[in-house]
Every structure is written in structure tokens, then in C-alpha cells.
Amino acid sequence: MQWTPGGSDQDIEDRRDDSGGGGGGGFGGFRGVHLGIGGTLIVGILSLIFHQNLFSIFSGSGPSPSSPPSASQPYEDSRARTQQDAEEKPEYEFIKFVLNDVQANWDKILPESTRVPYHHAKLVLYRDEYPSACGEAQTAVGPFYCPEDQKVYLDLGFFQELENRFGAPGKFAQAYVIAHEIGHHVQRLLGIESKVRRLQEQDPRARNQLSVRLELQADCFAGVWGNSTEQRKIVDETDVAQGLNAAAAVGDDRLQRMARGRVSPESFTHGSSAQRTEWFKRGLQSGQVSSCDTFATQ
């Protein structure tokens, strides 16, 4: 994937040095049931599936109290964070490039296709945990878009998980994740997200099915951006394969099989690997918002 560092970071809120470090975020550290490594991995995967912090099920009244910090700890923590910021500089620059490119594309495409103006979302970078208008953002939950504050929440550690645990390496795989979450922002601007939430409240039995359609449409919207990168020769066939692999890697069936050894289609919330790949590919091939109507198909 061809990309260049630089550009504006006005749409990024860097909260990495303001978050983490205390207790309830990340893995472990809860009262009640103790989770071993295997249990932690399973609950972490299920948290990704259902976009909920399922670690809270195992907590008692909250995180276990931690030992009071020593006098030198604030300085040591600050120095460690500064070093980590420096090490993550390439990842930060890449995320900034992708975010700017995705939103610049929607600046043009959305009003042309729908006559709805595009308003930029913010992307919040954090470590371990950080408060959002939709609840506590935590590493275990994975990246998500919060419609209440119109922000994407992302812990850079997820990209390592995407590569190591889910077998989806590559820059375009990471770009797909960001483009998918911005796709949810597009849904909010078009009124799709709020309509789906109302329908879910009216018919709770259709909640999962509607959620799947919402997620598949966000995959398709990510593909719409991917089409523009192909046109501009930013990506090649290898990059596209990485994006398709990432879509397949986070399919409900694959994640459920990893977590429980079996698949329960009735509990899908994001769609199967095949569905996610198909809808990403539709947007990728057409580059048209109109090709992403997941609510009008079987």
C-alpha cells in the first residue's frame, strides 16, 4: 500500500497518555472469577463478536484495588509513555493518512451520491481504556464507532491482535478496519443507524439480523473507499487480498469457532466471513453507495 506520512491531524484525538494504567481495562484484574489465559482469550474474542465488554460478567463490584503508586511511579510512567509514543509514531502516521484519505473521499462521494453533506468524525487513540459517550472504550472490545459523540475509538494494540491472533497482517487490513468504522459514521449521517436502532427496539427478535445488515453495509462502505484507492494506484492486488482477508478474519462464524468450537448463526451480529468478504468486495468493485443496500437483499 502506497502512503505518505504527514498531513493534518485535526481529526485525531490522541489520548494515549491520558488513558490506561489503572485497573479495569485490558485483560484481567477483576474481582470475582479469576480468568486464566485461556479464559481471557475466549472472553476477549466474544467481546469482539458482540461489541460488549463481557469481562464485566466476571467482575464483582469493579476492578480490584491496586497498590498505591510509589513516589517515582508518575515519572517512570511518563517516561515509558513518551518512549511508547515514539515507537508508535509510524502507526500514528499511517492511521492519520488513512483517516484523512477515507474522509476526503466521503467529502466528495456522499453529497454526490445522496445530497447529504459529509461531516468529519473524530478518531480517538487510547491505551487500555478510555471513557466514551457509549461507555468505556477498552482494548478487549476492539475498535468501535460511537454514534453518540461521532467518534471512532481505537487502541493501536488491536492491529497486533489482528495480525497475530486473527491472521490478518498488512497495512490494507488495518486500513479496512478504520474505513469500516467510518462507514458507521456515514450510516449515522444518512439516518440509517438511528432507523435500525428504532427497528431493533420495536422488534427485539430481529435485533441480531438488523445488526448484521448494518455491519455488512459498513463493510461495503469500506469497499467504496477501497475502490478509490485502486483508481489512484494506492493499492495493488496484494493489498486488496489483505483487505478481503481482514474481512474474513472477523466473520462471526470464524470468531465463534475460535472461541467455542461451534457456530451459532442465530447469534451472529456482524455476518459470516463469506458475507463480510462479499459485501466488502461489492463496494470495492463498484465504488458506489447505491451498491451497499444490505437491507434490500435476502
Mean pLDDT along residues 229-257: 82
Band of residue 77 on the pLDDT scale cut at 50, 70, 90: low
Q: What percent of the chain has a predicted confidence (pLDDT) above 90?
A: 43
Pair type for strands 135-138 and 129-132: antiparallel
Burial, 135: exposed, middle or buried (Cβ in 10 Å; 0-12, 13-18, 19+)? Answer: middle
Look at residue 73 in the predicted model and tell me its pLDDT: 57
Query: How many independent structural domains does the chain possess?
Result: 1
Mean pLDDT along residues 243-264: 79
Look at residue 76 in the predicted model and tell me its pLDDT: 56
Look at residue 280 in the predicted model and tell me its pLDDT: 92
Q: Are 84 and 14 in contact (CB under 8 A)?
A: no
Phi, psi of 249 (to 5 degrees): -65, -30
Residue 9 lies in a domain: no
Residue 49 lies in a domain: no
The DSSP code sequence of 230-283 is HHTTS--HHHHHHHHHHHHHT-HHHHHHHHHSS--GGG-SS--HHHHHHHHHHH
Is 68 strand, coil or helix? coil
Q: Using CA atoms, how far apart are residues 230 and 227, in angstroms rounded to an integer?
A: 5
Residue 58: name the closest of 45, 39, 77 by CA.
39
- Residue 219 structural domain: 84-296
Residue 235 lies in a domain: yes
Residue 200 lies in a domain: yes
Band of residue 298 on the pLDDT scale cut at 50, 70, 90: confident
Note the pLDDT tens digit of each residue in 91-145: 999 999 999 999 999 999 999 999 999 999 999 999 888 999 998 888 877 889 9
Residue 3 lies in a domain: no
Residue 73 lies in a domain: no
Task: Tell me the H-state helices in 16-152.
Answer: 37-50, 73-87, 89-114
Residue 115 lies in a domain: yes
Among 135-144, 194-203, 252-261, name the one with the lowest average pLDDT.
252-261
The DSSP code sequence of 117-171 is PP-PPEEEEESSEEEETTEEEEGGG-SEEETTTTEEEEETHHHHHHHHTT---SH
Q: What pairs with residue 122 in β-bridges?
A: 151
Look at residue 189 in the predicted model and tell me its pLDDT: 97
Note the pLDDT tens digit of each residue in 165-181: 767 767 888 898 999 99
All cell numbers assigned to 144? 468501535
Q: Using CA atoms, how far apart are residues 42 and 39, in angstroms rounded to an integer?
A: 5
Residue 201 confidence (pLDDT) above 90: yes
Q: What pairs with residue 14 in β-bridges?
A: 125
With residue 12 as reference, give the H or E element that holds it.
strand 12-14
Residue 47 lies in a domain: no
